[in-house]
Structure 1
Amino acid sequence: MDHPIVAPGAAADPPGRAEALAEAIAAAAAEIEATRRIPPTLVEALHRSRLFRMLLPRSAGGDEVHPATYLLAIEAAARQDASVAWNLFVANSTVLIAAYLDPAVARTIFADPRSVLAWGPPNETIADAVPGGYRVSGRFDFASGCRLASWMGVHCRVREADGGLRQNHLGRPAIRTLIFPAAEARLLDNWNPIGLRGTASDSYTVGDVFVPEAFSSTREDPSLRREPGPLYAFTQQGLYAVGVAGVALGTGGAMLQQFVALAMTKAPRGQALLAEDALVQSEVARATAKLGAARAWLLSMLGEMHDAAEAGAALPVAERARLRLGCAQAIQASVEVADFAYKAAGVDAIFPGSPFERRFRDIHTLSQQIQSRAAHFTAVGQVMLGRAPVGFL
């Protein structure tokens, strides 16, 4: 059975809209690298393209696109600049919380068409349950896209009035997501890494912020979702991995494309063109197959899972594991292809401003992120062998 990659309708062409911005994204790449920020004019163009709203429910003013369409759009942006694509995927990942909020609250948060929600990963912070909501203080790190955000969030444990920690459905300390206006967070300008510099993944602090109960939810229990559409059968963690895979595929694919162009014109001293070298020919073919196979498999499974999703039900654990495997494989293949292109380009790859140098740093920064860890293969293998970790998402 064939599975559509792009769903019909007005919101069906985010990849085309991302490709239409290719020239603008490429032109801003040097400024993004130097300032660690996406220029306001490009941010505005991204908002007009609705690329921040691909995974937002239609009930909250979003486009609720097919997950394979989403992957292709992130990949298209990443071909030009990985930081732009990373900001897009993170912003789309955070809006998935809307499927777990009261629809009226979700509409309040995303009423402004330029609303962006940002947050950092959970840490040891504990919020206090108080009448009507929660109070929280703490520091959080790696808040990609926080410089674009109108709303911020934190993920933390909850201390009840009796002093005990709230438990989740698995009998573990629950992690609650609390959402509040971005003005209530203090951003720290401390993101200065070797790659993905334009993601502005800064730290932030909050001090005794009150968050109403309605502006909170949990990402731990997929059965609590309020949105029935097939997109939300995917766990938030699963779609997060899809976004990372899109950035990796676009970055690795662009490096391979740039090497092919170089090989058609570069002749090492006293030798024929690289394109005439039998080893180069073989390795280009192998790299193309490796990247294409990983990409095609991930697109195929996204189509199958979307088609099979049942209203109101989360994907079964076996399908979550298969998706995790597809994303991990796509990320690993992309890094391997990027490494081939960088090494094969020789000294042409080592200078700032080359088509390879920034992308090499970007994809190797991506390779250090949690979604890229080899441990995912172990976790998937445990599921496949009947030893699924409790609470696998």
Structure 2
Amino acid sequence: AVAAADASVAWCLAQASGCSMAAAYLAPEVARRVFGDPRAVLAWGPGRGEAVPVDGGYRVTGIWNFASGGRHATWFGGRCRIAGAARERTLLFPRAEVTLTDIWDVIGLRGTGSDRYAVTELYVPGGHGFGPDYTLVPEADTPRFADGTLYRLPAQSVYGCGFAGIALGIARGAMDAFATLAREKSPRGGAPTLREDSVAQYDYGRATTRVGAARAYVLEAANRLWDDVERDGAFTIDHRMRIRMAVTHAIHEAKDAVGAVYHHAGTTSVFASQPFERRLRDANTVTQQLQGRLAFFQLIGQHLLGLELDARLV
């Protein structure tokens, strides 16, 4: 529902929700420090950082990107290579210690403020972090202080379901707007109203069916993952692949649906005052994020055909 109205708001909500899973990997007193404020928001993104071990913690220097919602964040996190060791650790630091750089001049999801952030020679207590990173190595035995079903799920699958929901919400918003327009607009040289145009009828029916089917597949895969993990306490590569299939498929089905109604809305679509052009930009931007990567279908095929594969980002 949020994404149907504003995809950037929904993106920040989904990102912050995924980041908040970090609470389970922090000692309770640290988790309260980070998330105790009712307005607490943790933001992070990919990048490069180095953490030099010092007494009681680390001296951290690094630059990271794509901190969605960072302008409202109270804490930031960054994945760091531990100097002198072949391992990484994700470390958390307060907003006041971060230099935030506005680089978010993009075509879609413009309201997420997914900016660059950096720290230089910042002391971070050792307890303000975790490793291995549960978002990249879901099978790792990372110490966990909370054991609810949510915190036993693979983080990439949680993020994926959130971002698929955003794509589907964008499509729903565009399609609802088109249905309203179709009752009112009389296409030049065409049917009396847009909704009486046979090609528009066909494409709208197909788009609605495809979006509904994609949504059902995401829900089915997510529910099965939750139920199995709740019962068995663990997930498998089959669970992750099923989520990956559903998520990446849904993102692209949603993008195609938005494109279809954008086209049929005609010149109405090109005006910024209308509800189509922003949704077209947002839907296409979602496909460019990791979760929409078409190369995942190759990995899915390899898995289904019994081949070995690199499944770190599945």
TM-score range, shorter chain: over 0.9
Q: 2:111 matched to 1:191? A: no
Q: 2:92 aligns with which of 176, 179, 185?
A: 179
Q: 2:142 matched to 1:236? A: no
After superposition, residues 281-360 of structure 1 pair within 5 angstroms as: 281-310=201-230, 313-360=233-280
| Aligned partner letter, 2:69 | G
> How far, CA to CA, are the matches of 2:159 and 2:214 in structure 1?
17
Cα distance, 1:126 vs structure 2: 2.3
Q: Which residue pairs with 1:152 in the alignment?
A: 76
Q: Which residue pairs with 1:115 in the alignment?
A: 40
Contact map agreement 2:26 2:127 (CA 8 A) in 1: yes
Q: 1:93/1:382 Cα in 2 relative to 1: closer, same or farther (>3 Å)?
A: same
Q: Which residue pairs with 1:18 in the alignment?
A: none
Q: 1:245 aligns with which of 152, 164, 178?
A: 164
Partner SS, residue 185 of structure 2? coil
> How far, CA to CA, are the matches of 1:391 and 1:351 in structure 2?
42
Cα distance, 1:258 vs structure 2: 1.1
Q: 2:11 matched to 1:86? A: yes
Which digits, 9 at most, give the CA deviation of each residue in 1:214-238, with x for residues without a partner?
1111222443233222222221111
Contact map agreement 1:143 1:204 (CA 8 A) in 2: yes
| Aligned partner letter, 1:79 | A
Partner SS, residue 5 of structure 2? coil
Flag structure 1 segments of 5+ consecutive residues without an equivalent: 1-75, 167-173
C-alpha root-mean-square deviation of aligned residues, in Å?
Answer: 1.7
Cα distance, 1:355 vs structure 2: 0.8
Contact map agreement 1:127 1:157 (CA 8 A) in 2: yes
> How far, CA to CA, are the matches of 2:40 and 2:286 in structure 1?
25
| Aligned partner letter, 2:252 | Q
Q: Percent identity?
A: 43
Q: Which residue pairs with 1:214 in the alignment?
A: 127
Q: 2:66 aligns with which of 130, 138, 142?
A: 142
> How far, CA to CA, are the matches of 2:53 and 2:235 in structure 1?
31
Cα distance, 1:156 vs structure 2: 2.1
The structure with the greater share of residues assigned to strand is: 2
Partner SS, residue 309 of structure 1? helix
Q: 2:299 matched to 1:386? A: no
Which digits, 9 at most, give the CA deviation of each residue in 1:220-271, with x for residues without a partner?
2443233222222221111111111111011011111111211112111233
Q: Which runs of 4+ in 1 moved over 3 A?
A: 310-314, 390-393
Which digits, 9 at most, give the CA deviation of each residue in 1:72-101, with x for residues without a partner?
xxxx11110011111111111111111222
Q: 1:313/1:211 Cα in 2 relative to 1: closer, same or farther (>3 Å)?
A: farther
> How far, CA to CA, are the matches of 2:62 and 2:149 in structure 1?
36
After superposition, residues 353-368 of structure 1 pair within 5 angstroms as: 353-368=273-288
> How far, CA to CA, are the matches of 1:190 and 1:336 in structure 2?
28
Q: 2:187 matched to 1:263? A: no
> How far, CA to CA, are the matches of 1:82 and 1:144 in structure 2?
12
Q: 1:314/1:129 Cα in 2 relative to 1: closer, same or farther (>3 Å)?
A: farther
Partner SS, residue 214 of structure 1? coil
Contact map agreement 1:229 1:312 (CA 8 A) in 2: no
Deviates more, 1:265-274 or 1:147-156: 265-274
Partner SS, residue 64 of structure 2? strand
Partner SS, residue 186 of structure 2? coil
| Aligned partner letter, 1:229 | G
> How far, CA to CA, are the matches of 1:389 and 1:104 in structure 2?
39
> How far, CA to CA, are the matches of 1:277 and 1:96 in structure 2?
48
Q: 1:234/1:264 Cα in 2 relative to 1: closer, same or farther (>3 Å)?
A: same
Q: 2:199 matched to 1:279? A: yes
Q: 1:381/1:131 Cα in 2 relative to 1: closer, same or farther (>3 Å)?
A: farther
> How far, CA to CA, are the matches of 2:48 and 2:73 in structure 1?
23
Partner SS, residue 240 of structure 1? helix
Partner SS, residue 134 of structure 1? strand
Cα distance, 1:390 vs structure 2: 4.3
Partner SS, residue 184 of structure 2? coil
Superposition TM-score, scaled by structure 2 size: 0.92
Contact map agreement 2:49 2:78 (CA 8 A) in 1: no
Deviates more, 1:287-296 or 1:306-315: 306-315
